[in-house]
Amino acid sequence: MTLKPYLGVFAGASLLFLAACGTTTPSSSGKNWLSLGVSQNSNILHELDQTSIKKNGQVVTFRDKKTFSDISKEHFQYLPKHKYSLNTWEMNCANKTYRLVATELMAENGTQVWQKTFDFNTAPTRKIVAGSSTDKQYQAVCR
């Protein structure tokens, strides 16, 4: 499976992202989810796990969660149908670049339906686009 179609799903969702006031929701799993808002069609909630942020100089790794409110509105052409994804990202704060490190796709009942880890060849770095969901992540983890 190539990464290009997969990145398109998340890039498309990121470009549809609307900025919203951040709210923090603690969970029983020890994660502290910061809401970064919803997509333009209001079907994807973007959250950042504040407990996952790890800084190493200008490079930061963190996890995010993208939850579909109605999976019937989404087209999962290259991926299994899933309710939410848990993604590990690496961001270079100085260069304003990011890349996907790993992802888990989860069913509505919480079972894992797909998992993949990426290297630099399968997930090269990309520039952060102003106003995107990745830019909101940058604001939260790099400042």
Q: Is the pLDDT of residue 143 over 90?
A: no
Do 69 and 43 form a contact (C-beta atoms < 8 A)? yes
Handedness of CA 6, 12, 14, 15 (dihedral sign): positive
State pTM to two decimals. Answer: 0.79
Partners of 17 in beta bridges: 39
Residue located via tokens 């087209």: 75
pLDDT of residue 29: 60
Task: Sort 51 into a burial class: Cβ within 10 Å, 0-12 / 13-18 / 19+.
Answer: middle
pLDDT of residue 28: 44
Domains with residue ranges and CATH for the chain: 3-50+61-142 (2.40.128)
State pLDDT tens for residues 102-119.
Answer: 999 999 999 999 999 999
d(CA 135, CA 89): 13
